[in-house]
Structure 1
Amino acid sequence: MSAAPTTRRTADAPIAPAWLALLAGPLSFGITGPTLVLAEIARDLGVSLVGAASVVTAFGWGIAVGTPLAGGLLARRGLRTALVVAALLVAAGAVLVIAVPVLAVLVVGTALQALGAAGFTVVAMSIAGSAAAMGTVTASLAVLGSIAPLVGSQVAAAWGWPVALVMPVLALLAVPAVLRAGTSGGRQAGRFDLAGAILLVAWVTALVMLTHSPVAAAVAALALTALLAWHVRRRPAGFVPVELVRAPRFLVASGLALALAVVNFGIVYAAPAMVTDLTGWTSGQLGLALLWPYLGGGAVSWFLVSGSARLSFPVWVATLAAGAVAAPAIVAFGNGSVALLFAGMAIGSLAASTGNGALALWAGAAVPQAVRPTAMGLFTLFYLLGAAFGPVLAALAVG
C-alpha cells in the first residue's frame, strides 16, 4: 500500500521519519490483520464467513472514502485539525469494537478506525519533506501489511480477536510527537464542495455494497454515477475536478489499480484457507509462511517502480493486467499444490505493489499540476476499494 494524497508541507519543525511510519503504518493492520481470525470471528458471532468479512469491508470502505475526505480537511483546516479529528475517530472506533463485540457495532467501529487511519496516512505523507521520509512511510505500510496476518493471529490467541481488530490504534502513539512539531501553514481558499463530497461518499458506499446487495447497490451506483457526472459538469472545480474525468490515462491507471488491489486482497484472504487444507498448519505457522511471498513481492516492486520511467504506459498496462489475470488463475488451478499457491500470492503481491507505485506516477503525470494532489487522493481511493471488495469475494469463493 502506498500513494496517499500529498500536500505542501506545513509543519514548523522536521519530524523523525520513524514517527511518520508509526502514524501511517498501522492502517495496514486493519486491512490484513484479520486474515487468519475471520473464521474465529464468524464462529463466535454465529455468522457466516461472508458476514464476518463485513468488518474488513467496512474498513476498506472507511479508508477508501476517508482518504479524499481527509485531504479536503487537511487542505482547508490544516494539519493539526486533521490529526486531532483522525485521532478521535480511531479512538472512538477502537472503544466500540472492544466494548460491544457484536457484528453491527464491529462494522461501525472498524469503519470509524479506518476513517481515522486514512487521515493519519494523509497527514504523514503531507509532513514527509524528503524522499527518504516518504519512502519510510510507504515502506511501513508494506511491511506492516506483510506481518499483520501473523501479528493478528498471535494477538487474537493471547487477548482475543477484538484486540486484533483494534491494532490501528497503535498509530495514536505518534500523535503527541507530531502535534509537538507544530502544524501552522496556509490553507486552501474557496468554498468547500459539500455536495460533491457527499455524492462521492454515497457513490463509493454503493460500490462497496455491490458484494452484499448486488441489485440494489448496482441501481444506486448507476444513479449516483449520473448525479456525480452532472455535478462535475455543473461545478468543474469542485471536489472531483473535471480535469480528472477528462484524462483517459488517469482513468485507466485508476481502474487497473482497483483490479490489482481486488486480486491481491482477495488472494490474501482466500489462499490461507487453501494452504491450511493442504498442510494442516496452525495459524502461527501459516502466518510465518505468508510473510515471504508478500515481503518478497513488496521488496521487488521497489526496484520495478524505481525503473518505471523506462517502460511506456501501454507496456505497463499490459504487463500489470497480465499479472492481475495470472495470479488468481494460478491460485484457482493450483489448489492442489502449496508451491503454486505461494507463487500466486507472490505474483498478486508483486503486481499490486508495483502497480500502485507505477500507476500512481502515471496518474499524477496525466493531470495538471494544480489538481495533482486531488488526483493522487482519488487514485488511492480506487486502489483502496480493493481492500473492501477482495475479502468479501474471497469469502464467497472459499465458502
Structure 2
Amino acid sequence: MIGEGAPTADTPIAWPLRTALILALVAPTLNMAVLPPALPMIADYLGGGVAGEITAQRAQSLPFLGLVIGGLLAGGLIARFGLRRCLILAALCFAAAGLGGGSARSAAPLLVSCFVAGLAASVLSCGLTTATGAVMAGDARIRTLGFQTASSDFSAIGGGIVAAMLAQFYGWRAPFAIYVGFGLLSLLLVAGAKTPVVPRDDTSSGLVAVARKAGPVYLAGGFIFLLMGTQPTLMPFHLAAHGLATPGARAIVLVAAPAAAMLSSIAYALIRGRIADRWMLVAATIASALGFAGMALWTGGTVPIAAASVAVGIGAGLSFPMVIRAAFRNVQPALHGYSIGLLNTGVFSGVFLSPFLFGPLQRAAGAPAMFGLCALIWLVFGAITASRRDWTRAAAGDMVIAAPGAAG
C-alpha cells in the first residue's frame, strides 16, 4: 500500500496501477462515442417515428446527466468509503450498465442503464485521476496527465469506429459490450493494484471548499468543452450545408479534432518540462482561435475544414492537461477527489449545454457567426488564463501540493 507521504518522480508504481491511471479518462469518453452509431437502430427498435427518436436521444443524453451527478458525488464517496472500494464498485457498475443496456427489451431499463453508465464512469474517472495525484508529482504527473488525455482522445476515435462496426454487423445491442469489456478490464486492474491511500477530508463541505479555492479551474474546463461540444453536435450540419454530404467525408473532418487533440496531448506530456505553461497556453489559444475562425470562413472543400478541425484539436489537447493539473495544484490532497469531481461536472455540463447555447445561434445567425464567436471566446479565455500566475507556475508547484495538508 502506498503511504500518504508526498510522492516523487521516483515513487515505484506497479504496472496494473500505472495502466489504470493512463486509462483514467476513457470511461467518460466511451459514453460519448459508443451509442451515437447505434441511435437510429435504437429508435427503430423502440417503435420508430418521433417517439422512437426522442427515446434514443434521451439514451444518449442521460449518460451526461450521470456524469454530472457522478462528479458531484465522487469526492464524498471517496472520502466516506475509500478510494479502492469506490473504484471497484464503479467498475462493476459500468460493466453492469453495459449488460443492462445490451439486454434491455423496453425503454425504461435502457434509459436506466445509460444513466448508470454515466454515473459509474464519472466516479471511476474521478477516482483514478485522484489516484494520479496521490502517487505522482512534478514531471511524472504532467506526463501522465498528457497520456491520460491522449488515451481519452484515442478511445473517442477507436470506440466510435468499433461501436459502428459492431452495430452494423451484430445490431444495436452489440456496442454495449464495449462498456462490459472496459468495466471488467478496469476491475481487474484495480483489483490487482496497490491502491494509494488518499488523505481524508475532515470537513463536511468539500465541494464548497474546492469551489472557493479553484472555481476558475472548473469554469475553464467547462468553457473548453462547451466549445469542443460544437464539433460532434453542430459541425455535421455545417459540413452538409457546404457539400460534404456523405458520412465518410464528414467522418474525416469530425475525427480530425480528437486525433489532433490526442497527438498534442502526447506532445504536452513529452515537452512540458522544456516550455513554460504560459507559452503552451498561448500556443493553444492561437491554434484553437485560428481553427474556429477557419470554420467560420470555410465555404467548401474537405482539406481546409479538416485543417481547421486539426487546429481546434491541437488547442484542446494542449490546454486540457493544464486544467487537470490546476485542479490538483490549487487544492490540498484531502480535497483532490472533490476537485476532480467538480472538474468532471464542469466538463460534462459544458458538453451537455453546448448544443442548447450555440444551436439557436447557428440557426438564427448561421454557422459562420457561431464559429466566429467560438474563436473570440477562445481568445478571451486564453488571454485571461495565461495572465494568471496560478495557471503558469513552474512544475515544482506540483511537488508542494502533493504533501498532505499542504496549502492550496
Scaled by the length of structure 2, the TM-score of the pair is: 0.67
Cα deviation, 1:63-122, whole Å, max 9, x if unaligned, reads: 232134223322331233212321342233223322336555433221101111222223
Report what 2:175 is aligned to.
Answer: 164
* Distance of 1:242 and 1:133 partners within structure 2: 26
SS at match of 2:300: coil
The alignment-based identity, stated in percent, is 18
Q: Which residue of 1 aligns with 2:235?
A: 271
Change (3 A) 1:12 1:290: closer
CA RMSD of aligned residues (A): 4.1
Partner of 1:54: 58
Name the CA distance, whole Å, in 2 between partners of 1:8 and 1:68. Answer: 26
| Match of residue 70 from structure 1 | 74
CA drift of 1:357 comes to 1.5
2:353 matched to 1:389? yes
What is the alpha-carbon distance in structure 2 between the residues aligned to residue 47 and residue 150 of structure 1? 27
Tell me: CA distance 1:122–1:367, structure 2 relative to 1, closer, same or farther (3 Å).
closer
The answer to whether the 8 A contact 1:94-1:113 is kept is: yes
**Could you tell me how far 1:157 is from its partner in structure 2?**
0.7
Task: Tell me how far 1:144 sits from its aligned partner.
Answer: 0.7
Query: What does residue 315 of structure 2 align with?
Result: 351
Matched residues, number? 342
- Is structure 2 residue 281 aligned with structure 1 residue 281? no
Q: Any stretches of 5+ residues in structure 1 without a counterpart?
A: 1-6, 194-237
The alpha-carbon deviation at position 261 of structure 1 amounts to 0.4
Equivalent pair of 2:71/2:123 in contact (CA under 8 Å): yes
Q: Which residue in 1 is equivalent to 2:31?
A: 30
Q: Deviations over 1:146-178 (max 9, x none)?
A: 333322221211222333255232222321342
Aligned to 1:142: 153
1:239 equivalent among 206, 215, 233: 206
How far apart are residue 43 of structure 1 and its match? 5.2
Kept after mapping to 1: 8 A contact 2:43/2:56: yes
Q: Distance in 2 between matches of 1:173 and 1:150?
A: 21
Query: What code does the residue aligned with 1:178 have?
Result: V
Paired letter, 2:307: A
Note if contact 1:155-1:163 (Cα within 8 Å) is conserved in structure 2.
yes
TM-score normalized by structure 1?
A: 0.69
The equivalent position to 1:361 in structure 2, one of 311, 325, 329, is 325
Aligned counterpart, 1:310: 276
5+ residue gaps, structure 2: 365-408
TM-fit CA distance, 1:281: 3.4
Could you tell me how far apart the structure 2 residues matched to 1:363 and 1:304 are?
17
Give the conservation status (yes or no) of the 8 Å contact 2:96–2:180: no
